[in-house]
Structure 1
């Protein structure tokens, strides 16, 4: 029920202990000491209403095996998380204690989030017209699904980042702060490695280095770098192809730490307050969509 993390001194986001910059606002974490936080994902599983803060979520689907909800970080126009509700699995390494069962669990998570995306986003004509333009109707080609190691929450969770990314977050992606090489593991890589069965069985404990999985997978013909590079190129291609963002959509322009209004005059508005307000607007739209769907 507890996580080992670094707390961002600027936006207070709980970040994975190996990060040197906050993956929400970009603030340096190099001097930040380790701390512990509530494992909110397990709190969701147990139905706990309140911890250090409110534990309410924007829920998309829930059954006896999975819980799907909107990621509060909101990296893209559709950013979902799915967690297993029938078992506590601290992180992706533990899938390799039993590769066959691990692959079944992971495939079930991916199928669940694909269904949510199809029914609650792709089925909406306005969503497709606004964000996807003339992209071909290939759901899996639009989503970058995978898992981070180390995680910021110690319950297995599959992130589903459906392109295109929001402009600020895509800029962070270009700087290497999202879907990071060596930390983000594309679901296609994990499924391919787990499909090797007994050859990928590892006696995992808390201290098992994730590099051991990468190296063993490579010896079985599953190259992490190839899968990660394909995912990276896919994100960039989707961003370029869709390109839904126009100048008229924005009230401010940001250059470094300086903020300018639409007419070019410098503003004293704080960059982080703008980002927080944008996230709130995006969440409100997501909640509206759930109400509209009858959820």
Structure 2
């Protein structure tokens, strides 16, 4: 198959496109590094190097505190069972525990339509206790970015961007963001603390010359802070409150997934801005484990904080943030993927033009390799594999203070 044109031209055909650096979400096209134009239905794949510029994780290391698994903790401390497990759909493709409302795995993209809801280990609580290993035998180590008395910050294994964190409160067991509504003032103070620590952890990346090189030049730290994609999920895949802190830009494949609405799902992603606006009303809301999210959304819609409006702004800004900050170079990638097919390509007149497609190449296999090369999870690698650690001063396997999971207003663990 010969070369063919990827879409409307970006230059002199009468189609007016934004200048390099500007973003038009109404356009079907986007500009990558060097002003090269490509369709938003495509993504670059097959990273040619061994890795993007990397930022090593925190140098503090520790050994496991609990020698066994979550199941061992549950047997020794049955009162802990409500804290130790999640309701999830386990992906048949990659094994990732996904939220039980999802229809497609947000790691490998496999359908979850026929996957039953089962129990999985709450690994975030395991991290906080220093549990040694999962039931499947692999070590429950973390890619540590920051640890204080109040918060644990780790690299997200999903790695939607080279700088993608989860922030987990260290003093309390809070199943999910709904329970913040039981104590708005206390919740806002907690979020202030967590976001401040997340920004400290982000500075390690921003101070790296190599990392700054993957961003479009000319953006200050303050600009980048405005482009952080910050939210909660409900239902989460792990039932311990955690902030999703995603510093744009997404990697090429993950941006494509977002364009296809396979990330930041409406009715599952709850923007930080939305949660903060609700909490700022200072109206405690009685939340139970079985309180429907739809009930909460309807209640606060009537108070003037309309979820659909907040989500739409959040989603559009998430796409725009990557398109404004990314500096992907076509020279760094071997292929372009479109409609699930892997193509050779060339850049001609400032545009990506597809050439032959490779029937024997699986885009998922290529994406798996790209993820390892582009992520900062577990850096530095040893023998080509991510490394990790347990945490110092972990929580004890008990409910309540001192030393255990502190009580949060409205959370009933009986």
1:12, 1:268 → 2: CA distance? 25
User: Out of 106, 110, 115, which is 1:32 matched to?
Assistant: 115
In the other structure, the counterpart of 2:169 is 84
Tell me: higher relative CO, structure 1 or 2? Use CA pairs within 8 A at least 6 residues apart: 2
In the TM superposition, residue 94 of structure 1 has moved relative to its aligned partner by 0.9
In the other structure, the counterpart of 1:127 is 211
Q: 1:210 to 1:44 in 2, by over 3 A?
A: same
In the TM superposition, residue 101 of structure 1 has moved relative to its aligned partner by 1.3
User: Out of 165, 176, 185, which is 2:261 matched to?
Assistant: 176
Which range moved further: 204-213 or 65-74?
204-213
In the other structure, the counterpart of 2:42 is none
Contact 2:251 2:374 in 1 (8 A): no
In the other structure, the counterpart of 1:146 is 231
Q: 1:258 to 1:248 in 2, by over 3 A?
A: same
2:197, 2:373 → 1: CA distance? 26
In the other structure, the counterpart of 1:238 is 321
In the other structure, the counterpart of 2:23 is none
In the other structure, the counterpart of 1:42 is 125
TM-score, normalising length from structure 1? 0.90
RMSD (Å) for aligned C-alpha atoms: 2.2
Which range moved further: 56-65 or 207-216?
207-216
Contact 2:174 2:240 in 1 (8 A): yes
In the TM superposition, residue 260 of structure 1 has moved relative to its aligned partner by 3.7
In the TM superposition, residue 225 of structure 1 has moved relative to its aligned partner by 2.4
In the TM superposition, residue 147 of structure 1 has moved relative to its aligned partner by 0.4
In the TM superposition, residue 270 of structure 1 has moved relative to its aligned partner by 2.9
In the other structure, the counterpart of 1:156 is 241
1:62 aligns with 2:154: no
1:282 aligns with 2:374: yes
In the TM superposition, residue 228 of structure 1 has moved relative to its aligned partner by 1.9
Structure 2 gaps, min length 5: 1-83, 346-354, 388-414
In the TM superposition, residue 150 of structure 1 has moved relative to its aligned partner by 0.2
More helix per residue: 1 or 2? 1
Instruction: Name the larger-Rg structure.
Output: 2
User: Out of 167, 175, 180, which is 1:95 matched to?
Assistant: 180
Q: 1:265 to 1:181 in 2, by over 3 A?
A: closer
Cα offsets for 1:95-122 (capped at 9, x unmatched): 111111122222221111112112x111
TM-score, normalising length from structure 2? 0.65
Contact 2:156 2:377 in 1 (8 A): no
Q: 1:284 to 1:241 in 2, by over 3 A?
A: closer
Contact 2:166 2:245 in 1 (8 A): yes
In the TM superposition, residue 69 of structure 1 has moved relative to its aligned partner by 0.7
In the other structure, the counterpart of 1:227 is 310
Q: 1:269 to 1:124 in 2, by over 3 A?
A: same
Deviation beyond 4 Å, 4+ runs, structure 1: none
1:106 aligns with 2:198: no
In the TM superposition, residue 284 of structure 1 has moved relative to its aligned partner by 5.5
Structure 1 gaps, min length 5: none
Number of aligned positions between the proteins:
288
In the TM superposition, residue 18 of structure 1 has moved relative to its aligned partner by 0.3
Q: Secondary structure at the match of 2:379?
A: helix
1:257, 1:155 → 2: CA distance? 35
